[in-house]
Each structure stands twice: as structure tokens, then as C-alpha cells.
DNA sequence: CTGAAAGCGCTAACAA
DNA sequence: TTGTTAGCGCTTTCAG
């Protein structure tokens, strides 16, 4: 059997209260007893149980991560950074892929609450705002990623989506494109990007055409289908701005199937700058994933540990990464 | 405050033991009380605490997943499937990216044991076998993925790596390549692949040349560096077999920088068939990731719940997916 | 500086 | 069929 606090106490000839104090560095303990207890603990290879200590009201040292899909490189790269920082601070991450599905969201949130996670990281793509309300009603800290809920004052971290939308569109317009389409992911952050997109169009005296706008989920297939629709429009686009790299890959797939070459026949710009963008040499709006993951862990854990009372709202800058998938309009 | 079993018991006018019994469906309860208790539970929005029940010796419904890096699509795609099945069975997954680093492995394993996870999924790339021994000494179920330890009788799931190595090499040899290089990931499954590679070489009357063999970690950069070395060899390879898609992407990066076109100047074959392979149109040995994730969850949870005593050793078949990155040798 | 004891929420004998 | 009670391993007053 694994040793318990009783085993340590007995072997050290002290009470369990004393052992508990040296474990947690609380109360006042003489140097001598402290050393003794520490010695016995390592002799016995004793490790305090999180489960037992959580039952007494302490933390579980666990954070729930709610994302649409861990298999999406954007989320997995984010998760990796989050995990690294959280782990440094003594927390582990449990992953929950919700697939934009309210049922799954509900099941996961309830599961995580029963497990008494110390906090939640919720990313864009989470649809049920009521659930988030329930979580904060229980006084469980939450940090939102690329997702803001104006009615709720919460920690949040994201990029300036308006800017991302604007810059990407401007890049395309600068290259001479007049027919610039958008494939948006059905997540909240898309709204601001669309605003940026529209403003950039205006800036370059281009009209917004609803036929050049599609909203969809984030799989390669969805991107492919959307692109197909777009290219079938009367006056088809010469450039497509996909709101994430996966969708952009879908666009490229579609182009490949149609024998269109990129960027000669079609310019494509993605968003996220994940590993997916590398070899397709995809021009994309980069997100500072490392910073986002680290900041997310920091703010959330600060709140969990009661070190901060004010909520943070962090807005990072996206960065245009120009590769080979965008080029001047050919007439 | 969240309602406890006491609140339910009181409101329902029964004892906590009775409530516990209806929660767990144990003992014999009259239909009437059962209904009553169930009603009160939903009225109160009561959800039993996993923490408390875990303390009494029951499960935490949590599985630890130890992988080198969740940001690697192979692992994240696997994780997604594992998560799906585990969740169906009522378990959640905590992710631990160990980076082939023994220190991290140790920290994570100890953390997970303190959290009393019910079982471990350990994938290739885990270096410290001693740690695994410690886990099974504690009678905690383990399932190994793409990783077998002959000295330990454990559940394991993987593909036939020998076959994968053989088939990929044969594919290249069939295309006329004589100088076929390998970039192996430093994980255990590479050994069998190398055996397959060597046997295929023999089969096609080619010599194994140690200069055409490199072992490395799994990042794009590592792949790039390795390729660079390979191409600088006296008589450079005309085809490269990278043991995973990330490394293959690295190879392609290097080729691009050198102005080499694929497959005209260099054939590349990867392994895993992740999302990364799509647009580069990478020929690759596919792994049945979905099946692997589901099976892993199934076997591990079976053992956790004591439904099986015999260990499973599952060997799945890899599948050659031919795309455009491999082609006939040009002279 | 140290220890006794109550209690966290739940399970599982054992009684009734 | 239901309830009483003793823990599970730990934290935290409160005495000493």
C-alpha cells in the first residue's frame, strides 16, 4: 500500500498534524522535527494525496480545457503552451473537445465540476454562454481565449481580430484583388474579423458581396466545400481569406482538384500560422500562440490562487506572415 | 454551496446510505424511494463529488496520457480519438507532454499518481522504463501505444512497424531508387521499422549504408537538419523515408530551400498520414489512428474496471497512402 | 512548537 | 428495504 500521512507520523514519532504542517509549510515547526519528517517522507517515498487534500477544501491542481477539437493544430499548439506553463505552476490540464456541440459542452462542464477542477479555460467555439454563467456562479475561475462575452466580466486573452481581418484583406487588396472572399469559422472571434474585412474593402473601394461570404465549421472538408461554392459564384473570387489554417488547407485542396494553381489562379490567406502553413507555404495571419498559452495559464492560476482580484483583458497583436500562397492579381 | 449527499438525504427524508445506493445502483431500494431520491437530486441539481468518492477507494475516472508532445498532429489526432472513446465510457484525459525528457516523465508520473488517475496510456517516446515498472507495481493499469516492452507483460496497441518499414522502402525501391535514406525518430517503434527497411533493401539487392541513416527527435527543424546532412553525403540519396510526417515536412522544407523539386529531384515518404500530409500531397504510411485511440481506451478501461484479466497485444496494419511526393528515379 | 479531534462528501459493512 | 456508523487521507482550529 502507498504510505499515508499516518505512516509518516508514526515512523517520525510525531502527530499527523505536524506532518501536515511540514508538508504545507504552515504553522511553526522546529527545524529538528521538520528535518526528521522530511527525511521519513523521502525514506517512505511518501507523496500526499491530492484527492484527500481536495476533499478538505484545497485545490485539485487541475484545470479544464474546453476547445472544439484537440486535433486542430491551432488548439493543440495552444494546449501545449498552456500545459507547459500550467505544469510549471503545478497544475495539470484535462482536455475536452466539444465539437461546437452544446450537448458535449454540457456533459464536459458538469463532469469537470464534479471533478472539482480549479478553473476553466474556454476557447472560442464554445456556444453555450449559459454554461459559463453557471461556472462563474459557482465561483470557479474562468479564462476565455479568443472569445469575449461583453455581458460577463471575465479574464480573456485573444488577438485583435479586427486588425487581423483588416490586415489580411488589405494585403490581398494591395495585390490588386477585387473579388476577395471569406470563409469564416462559426466562432465568435469571426465577427470582429469580418468587421475588419469589410472596413478594408471599403478602404480599397471594394463592395462587400454576400455571395463571397461563407460561414462553416473548422475541418478541411468544410473548407473544401465552402471553396467549391465560392468558385461557383457568377463572378468568382480571385482571392480567399480563410479564417484559419485548416480551412485554408481545404481551399487549397479544392483548388488542387480543380487544377487551379496557387497563387497564379487563386490567392489564399489563412489564419493562425500553425504547422499546417509550413509546406503549403501558406500566407497567414499569425497568432502568438506561445504567449497566449502562457498568459492564459498565468492569469487563470493567479485568480485560482486568489492573487489577483481584477480581471485581465489581454489583446495581443496578430502578425501577417507572407509566404507563397498570395500573389498579384493576374488579368 | 453545492449540495451534498446530506442535503439530498434530508430533503428526501432518507439516510445518506440510501441516497448513495440509488446513486450507485447498489443494494435493494424500493421503487418509490428511488424515484423520490432521483427527483430530489435533480431538483437540487445535485452531482456527486468524484473527489469524495475517490477517497473511499473508488475511481477518479481519469486517465493520464503520456506523449512526447500534444502539438504533434500524430499525438493530437490520437488523443482526440482516445478522448472520444474514454469520454463515452465516463473517463477524462489529462495530457502530459514529456518531450522525450526523463525529468518531465518523472514529474508527470508522480503528479498523476498523486492525483490517483485510474490508468496510464503511455506512447512511444517514453524513455524511462523504470517508471513504468513503478506504475505497474502500484497495480495501476497501463496501456502502451506503439511501444512494447518485452520484459513486461502489458496491454499494447500499435501497428506492425516492421511491415511499415518494409512497405515504404519497397515502394521507393520499386520506383527505381537505389539510394534510400532514413530519418528515424528516436522512439522504440523505429527499431522495427529499420528492420523492415533493411530487409526491403536486401530484397531489392541494395546495400544498407550507415551514412544514409539518421536518428533524431520529431520537429520540423530536426527533419530539416537531418535532410541537410543526408544531402551532403558523398553519394546523396534520391529518396528519403522519414519516420513521421513532421520529419517529412522538414525534409520538404530543406528541399525547398535547396531548390529541389519533389518528387523530380527527391522522393519523400512520411509516416502517420496526419493532416500534415494533405496539401504537401505527401506519400505516407498511414496509421489507423481512430482505431488505435478507441482500442486504447477500451482495453485500458476494461482493465481498470476489472473486466479483463488477460493482457491484450493488438497489432494493426499500416497502409501505404500514395500521393505525389514519391516518383520514379530520374537519371 | 506540537497534538487531539472534528470534519470534508462519500462508500460499505453491518444492524435493524 | 433502510439506517447507523466507521472510515478514506488530509487540513485546520484550538488546546496544551
CA distances from B195 to A2, A92, A224, B82, B192 (A): 42, 38, 39, 29, 5
What is the pLDDT at residue B81? 98
Kindly state the percentage of chain A with pLDDT values over 70: 100
Convert the pLDDT of each residue in B141-189 to its tens digit: 999 999 888 888 899 999 999 999 999 999 999 999 999 999 999 888 8
Mean pLDDT of chain B: 95
What pLDDT, on the 0 to 100 scale, is given for residue A187?
Answer: 86
pLDDT of res. B170: 98
Question: A307: pLDDT confidence band, cut at 50, 70 and 90?
Answer: confident
Contact B95 A96 (CB under 8 A): no
Q: Is the confidence at residue B331, as pLDDT, over 90?
A: no
Say whether B64 sits in a helix, a strand or coil.
strand
How many whole angstroms separate alpha carbon A193 and alpha carbon A170?
12
Q: What is the pLDDT of residues A195-205, one digit of tens each?
A: 999 999 999 99
Please state the rounded mean pLDDT for residues B97-121: 96
The pLDDT tens digits of the residues spanning A222-256 come to 999 999 999 999 999 999 999 999 999 999 999 99
Mean model confidence pLDDT for chain A: 95
Asked if B94 and A92 come within 8 Å (Cβ–Cβ), the reply is yes
Asked whether the whole model's pTM tops 0.85, one would answer yes
Cα(A77)–Cα(A275) distance, integer angstroms: 9
Contacts of B324 in chain A (CB under 8 A): none
Instruction: Determine which of A1-10, A301-310, B123-132, B199-208 has the lowest per-residue pLDDT on average.
Output: A301-310
DSSP B306-328: T---SPPEEEEPPEEE--SS--P
Q: What digits encode the pLDDT tens for the residues B125-144?
A: 899 999 999 999 999 999 99
Q: B2 contacts in A (CB within 8 Å)? A: 138
In chain A, DSSP assigns E strands to: 62-67, 92-97, 119-123, 142-145, 155-159, 180-185, 213-216, 239-242, 267-272, 283-286, 313-316, 319-321
pLDDT band at A1 (very low <50, low <70, confident <90, very high): confident
Relative orientation angle of helices A31-44 and A5-12, to the nearest 10 degrees: 120
Which pLDDT does position A53 carry in this prediction? 95
Give residue A47's pLDDT.
Answer: 95
Q: What is the pLDDT of residues A81-108, one digit of tens each?
A: 999 999 999 999 999 999 999 999 999 9
List beta partners, residue B319.
B286
Q: What is the model's pLDDT at position A240?
A: 98
Is the Cβ pair B60, A73 closer than 8 Å? Answer: no
Among candidates B51, B83, B220 on the partner chain, residue whose Cβ is nearest the Cβ of A278: B220
Q: Does A16 reach chain B within 8 Å, measured CB to CB? A: no
| Nearest residue in chain B measured CA to CA from A49 | B114
- Dihedral sign for Cα B140, B145, B148, B149, please: negative
Q: What is the rounded CA–CA span in Å between residue B271 and residue B74?
A: 9
pLDDT at A331 over 70: no
* The residue to which cell 495559464 is assigned: A297
How do A92-97 and B92-97 pair as beta strands? antiparallel
Question: What is the helix (H) or strand (E) element at residue B94, kind and residue range?
Answer: strand B92-97
Q: What is the pLDDT of residue B188?
A: 84
Question: What is the mean predicted confidence (pLDDT) over B211-240?
Answer: 97
Give the CA A41 to C1' D15 distance in Å.
Answer: 27
Nearest to B295 by CA among B308, B284, B282: B308
Amino acid at each position: 500500500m502507498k504510505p499515508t500521512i499516518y505512516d509518516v507520523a508514526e515512523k517520525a514519532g510525531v502527530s499527523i498534524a505536524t506532518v501536515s504542517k511540514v508538508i504545507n509549510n504552515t504553522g511553526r515547526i522546529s527545524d529538528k522535527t521538520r528535518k526528521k519528517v522530511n527525511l521519513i517522507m523521502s525514506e517512505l517515498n511518501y507523496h500526499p494525496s491530492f484527492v484527500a487534500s481536495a476533499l478538505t477544501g484545497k485545490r485539485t491542481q487541475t484545470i479544464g480545457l474546453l476547445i472544439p477539437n484537440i486535433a486542430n493544430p491551432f488548439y493543440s499548439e495552444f494546449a501545449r503552451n498552456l500545459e507547459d506553463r500550467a505544469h510549471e505552476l503545478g497544475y495539470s490540464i484535462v482536455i475536452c473537445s466539444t465539437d461546437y456541440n452544446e450537448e458535449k459542452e454540457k456533459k464536459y462542464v458538469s463532469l469537470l465540476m464534479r471533478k472539482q477542477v480549479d478553473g476553466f479555460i474556454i476557447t472560442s467555439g464554445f456556444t453555450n454562454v449559459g454554461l459559463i454563467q453557471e461556472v462563474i456562479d459557482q465561483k470557479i475561475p474562468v479564462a476565455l481565449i479568443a472569445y469575449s462575452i461583453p455581458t460577463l466580466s471575465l479574464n480573456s486573452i485573444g488577438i485583435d481580430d479586427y486588425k487581423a481581418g483588416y490586415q489580411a484583406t488589405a494585403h490581398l487588396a494591395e495585390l490588386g484583388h477585387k473579388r476577395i472572399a471569406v470563409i469564416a469559422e462559426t466562432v465568435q472571434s469571426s465577427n470582429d474579423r469580418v468587421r475588419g474585412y469589410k472596413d478594408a474593402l471599403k478602404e480599397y473601394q471594394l463592395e462587400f458581396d454576400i455571395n463571397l461570404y461563407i460561414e462553416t465549421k473548422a475541418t478541411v472538408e468544410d473548407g473544401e466545400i465552402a471553396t467549391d461554392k465560392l468558385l461557383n459564384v457568377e463572378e468568382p473570387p480571385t482571392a480567399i481569406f480563410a479564417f484559419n489554417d485548416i480551412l485554408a488547407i481545404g481551399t487549397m485542396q479544392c483548388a488542387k482538384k480543380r487544377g487551379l494553381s496557387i497563387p497564379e489562379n487563386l490567392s489564399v490567406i489563412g489564419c493562425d500560422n500553425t504547422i499546417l502553413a509550413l509546406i503549403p507555404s501558406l500566407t497567414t495571419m499569425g497568432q502568438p500562440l506561445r504567449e497566449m498559452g502562457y498568459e492564459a495559464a498565468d492569469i487563470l492560476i493567479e485568480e485560482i490562487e486568489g492573487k489577483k482580484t481584477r480581471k485581465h483583458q489581454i489583446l495581443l497583436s496578430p502578425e501577417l506572415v507572407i509566404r507563397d500562397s498570395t500573389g498579384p492579381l493576374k488579368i
